[in-house]
């Protein structure tokens, strides 16, 4: 008799921290080199959000040092932000999916995941806790914690907690952790990241000290972009689950008409009336009386209706043309800069704004195709450039139409800000080729390129005039000598007058051609 053994499957659940511990490459912690870069990035971006969102000009300090053995790296980041309430510190750093960013508003971080992944990676590679010192603006104490994470329960483990009286007006957060990393291989990426962060935040003081490098970027303006406000979902961009949740959390006794006006972006009384009439829905019906099929029908009607207004830019925080120009000048030191900030557009109900800068000449090297600097919500994107929609747009533009002949000293800066950036892949390093986004990037680059063409045309005219002047000047001594023989006047005096006449003719010709510089 043959006995068949039955294999029993074992079923179990995973906590969020357990899941990301097993799949840390999803958040960019795939190897010691990438993990070191990702840790610096997460800490710096948290610090910038803690200052920018509250109109505080950022003062950011980043210090990296090598420990023994040499694959242990200490990372310290300090900011002058609003600080963290001391009772929240353990959960902010020791619990996955816990934070203040789960609202509809542009910010660098979205999931509150990055810093926890840095804590997780440091813990599993070195076994050492993260150290935090923080104080809020109105607090009378400074809190210091050493924290680890209980991975299986997704809860913080407080190793130590100390509180002392604050004797100064200091506020902000200092975070220090020791992680496994490869500084030699990560150095170039981290330097690039710091430089590009300084480009997109010209209002920030940034100090960076590594084992063998020091970078100091002083702000060149105190003007800051307007912080984003918490927004409402757009009717075109919601799904069934979101609609159900909105219905659940609101007063179920309100009418469908009031619900649509209160909960969605850009819906006033007139638009609500027109939509309900078009959809043949009873606006006076109470939310509590809506059946499942009626909710599904409401969703379908909302997605089909073409009369919604575009989402407003209240929840976005673009730099603006002036700040983007200052950032580009701060880092690239070009001969000429033109910047463009487009009006608000939307894809699938999500608002977005595209900003573009073109930098020409100066310290920009000669290249065979434009150097591309990519940003999303003020985050520098360093990896996966080849698959980014911005790279595709830049490469398909016929630059010869704008008087650019390669090799040329040209850099293109593209900044996309949105409440939901359409990233390509979980690494969040490349923008997906969404039609609406691609079109806006292309239009912005072409608008900037037309201004660049005008500048290059003026430069070519100016050079042509200079060449013409040089050519004519060669004949002045000979003409002056001939006139001196005929008139008996001093040859030197005649040559001087001829030079003045030539200068006057050149200025007149320059003005007629519309050159910027008539001198």
- Binned at pLDDT 50, 70 and 90, residue 107 comes out as low
Assess if CATH 3.30.565.10 describes domain 16-217: yes
pLDDT confidence of residue 288 = 87
Q: How far apart are CA 44 and CA 206, in angstroms?
A: 10
Task: Check pLDDT > 50 for residue 209.
Answer: yes
Flag the least confident range among 111-120, 149-158, 356-365.
111-120
Residue 448's nearest CA partner among 370, 333, 332, 346 is: 370
Q: Which residue has the higher pLDDT, 105 or 48?
A: 48
pLDDT confidence of residue 76 = 97
Domain boundaries, the chain: 16-217, 235-304, 321-449, 455-513
Cβ neighbours around 176 below 10 Å, total: 17
- Binned at pLDDT 50, 70 and 90, residue 460 comes out as confident
- Stated as kind and residue range, the H or E segment containing 282 is none
pLDDT confidence of residue 115 = 81
pLDDT confidence of residue 17 = 58
- The answer for residues whose C-beta is within 8 angstroms of residue 387's C-beta and 6 or more apart is 424, 430
The rounded Cα 335 to chain-centroid distance in angstroms is 24
Task: Check pLDDT > 60 for residue 164.
Answer: yes
pLDDT confidence of residue 7 = 54
Task: Check pLDDT > 90 for residue 199.
Answer: yes
Return the DSSP state at 389: H
Q: What is the pLDDT of residues 271-312, one digit of tens each?
A: 999 999 998 999 899 988 888 898 899 989 988 898 888 877
> For 247, what's the count of Cα atoms within 13 Å in the CB-facing half-sphere?
22
CATH assignment, 321-449: 3.30.230.10
Q: Which residue has the higher pLDDT, 167 or 103?
A: 167
pLDDT confidence of residue 82 = 94
Strand duo 350-360 + 379-381: pairing: unpaired
pLDDT confidence of residue 345 = 87
- Binned at pLDDT 50, 70 and 90, residue 188 comes out as very high
**CA angle (492 as vertex; 491, 496 as ends), nearest 5:** 115
Q: Mean pLDDT for the chain?
A: 86
- Binned at pLDDT 50, 70 and 90, residue 47 comes out as very high
Q: Is there a contact between 237 and 266 (Cβ–Cβ < 8 Å)?
A: no
Q: What is the pLDDT of residues 2-38, one digit of tens each?
A: 555 555 666 555 565 566 556 555 556 778 888 899 8
Q: How far apart are CA 345 and CA 362, in angstroms?
A: 33
For the entire predicted model, the pTM comes to 0.81
pLDDT confidence of residue 197 = 97
pLDDT confidence of residue 246 = 85
Using CB atoms within 10 Å of the CB of residue 9, give its burial: 0 to 12 exposed, 13 to 18 middle, 19+ buried. Answer: exposed
Is-same-fold flag (16-217; 321-449)? no
pLDDT confidence of residue 518 = 37
Q: What is the pLDDT of residues 369-406, one digit of tens each?
A: 999 999 999 999 998 899 999 999 999 999 999 999 99
Q: What is the pLDDT of residues 51-101, one digit of tens each?
A: 998 999 999 999 999 988 888 999 999 999 999 999 999 988 887 766 554
Q: What is the pLDDT of residues 307-364, one digit of tens each?
A: 888 877 788 899 999 999 999 999 999 999 999 999 988 887 788 999 999 999 999 9
Q: What is the pLDDT of residues 233-262, one digit of tens each?
A: 888 878 888 888 888 887 778 899 999 998
- Binned at pLDDT 50, 70 and 90, residue 111 comes out as very low
Second-level CATH architecture of 235-304: Orthogonal Bundle (1.10)
pLDDT confidence of residue 519 = 37
Q: Is there a contact between 388 and 350 (Cβ–Cβ < 8 Å)?
A: no
The arithmetic mean of pLDDT across residues 439-458, rounded, is: 95
């Amino acid at each position: 008799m043959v006995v068949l053994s039955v294999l029993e499957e074992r079923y179990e659940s995973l906590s969020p921290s357990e899941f990301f511990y097993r799949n840390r490459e999803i958040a960019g912690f795939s190897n010691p080199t990438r993990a070191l870069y990702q840790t610096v990035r997460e800490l710096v971006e948290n610090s910038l959000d803690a200052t920018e969102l509250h109109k505080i000009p950022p003062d950011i300090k980043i210090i990296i040092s090598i420990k023994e053995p040499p694959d242990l790296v200490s990372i310290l980041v300090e900011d002058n932000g609003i600080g963290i309430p001391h009772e929240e510190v353990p959960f902010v750093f020791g619990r996955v999916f816990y934070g203040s960013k789960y609202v509809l508003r542009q910010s660098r971080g979205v999931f509150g995941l990055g810093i926890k992944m840095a804590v997780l990676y440091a813990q599993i590679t070195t076994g050492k806790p993260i150290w935090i010192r923080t104080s809020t603006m109105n607090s009378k104490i400074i809190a210091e914690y050493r924290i680890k994470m209980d991975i299986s329960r997704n809860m913080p483990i407080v190793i130590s907690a100390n509180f002392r009286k604050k004797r100064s007006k200091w506020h902000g957060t200092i975070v220090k952790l020791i992680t496994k990393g490869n500084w030699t291989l990560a150095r170039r990426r981290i330097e690039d990241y710091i430089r590009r962060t300084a480009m997109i935040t010209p209002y920030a003081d940034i100090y960076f000290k590594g084992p063998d490098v020091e970078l100091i970027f002083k702000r060149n303006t105190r003007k800051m972009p307007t912080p984003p406000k918490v927004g409402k979902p757009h009717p075109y961009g919601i799904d069934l689950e979101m609609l159900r949740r909105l219905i659940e959390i609101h007063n179920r006794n309100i009418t469908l008409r009031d619900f649509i006006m209160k909960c969605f972006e850009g819906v006033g009384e007139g638009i609500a009336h027109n939509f309900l009439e078009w959809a043949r829905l009873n606006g006076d019906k109470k939310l509590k009386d809506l059946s499942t099929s009626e909710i599904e029908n409401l969703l379908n009607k909302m997605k089909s209706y073409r009369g919604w207004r575009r989402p407003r830019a209240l929840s976005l925080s673009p730099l603006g043309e002036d700040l983007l120009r200052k950032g580009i000048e701060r880092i690239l030191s070009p001969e000429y800069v033109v910047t463009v900030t487009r009006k608000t557009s939307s894809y699938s109900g999500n608002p977005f704004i595209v900003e573009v800068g073109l930098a020409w000449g100066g310290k920009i090297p000669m290249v065979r195709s434009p150097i591309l600097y990519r940003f999303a919500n003020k985050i520098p994107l360093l990896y996966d450039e080849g698959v980014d929609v911005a790279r595709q747009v830049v490469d398909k533009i016929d630059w010869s139409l704008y008087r650019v002949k390669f090799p040329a000293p040209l850099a293109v800066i593209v900044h996309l800000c949105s409440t939901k950036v359409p990233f390509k892949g979980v690494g969040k390093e490349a923008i997906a080729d969404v039609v609406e986004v691609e079109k806006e990037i292309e239009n912005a680059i072409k608008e900037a390129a037309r201004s660049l063409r005008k500048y290059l045309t003026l430069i070519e005219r100016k050079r042509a005039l200079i060449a013409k002047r040089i050519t004519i000047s060669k004949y002045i001594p000979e003409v002056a000598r001939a006139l001196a023989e005929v008139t008996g006047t001093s040859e030197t005096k005649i040559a001087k007058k001829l030079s003045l006449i030539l200068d006057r003719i050149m200025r007149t010709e320059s003005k007629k051609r519309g050159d910027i510089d008539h001198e």
